[in-house]
Amino acid sequence: VINPNVTIGNNCIINTKAIIEHDVTVMNNCHISTGAILNGGVYVGENTFFGSSAVSKEYSVIPSNSFIKANSLYYTS
């Protein structure tokens, strides 16, 4: 599911059952795995892997070259 105002860069993989909420930006060369949830306003930097069933807190910034493991909760404080 890809909701309104989402930007997805080049060479990205969005797997089955991933949810990308409103106002998310996914930069180039990213992999959003099965069942992953990117909540509203999240920024995903280039070359990032976001694992299966991982969840991000809204408006988090995920730096380039990140590896977010499966079943984890990602948030920035």
pLDDT for residue 76:
85
Contact 52, 36 (CB under 8 A): yes
pLDDT for residue 61:
97
pTM of the model: 0.95
Give the end-to-end CA distance of the chain in Å, rounded to a whole number: 27
pLDDT for residue 17:
98
pLDDT in 10s for each residue of the chain, 77 residues: 999 999 999 999 999 999 999 999 999 999 999 999 999 999 999 999 999 999 999 999 999 999 999 999 999 85
Nearest CA-CA partner of 54 in 25, 17, 22: 17
pLDDT for residue 77:
59
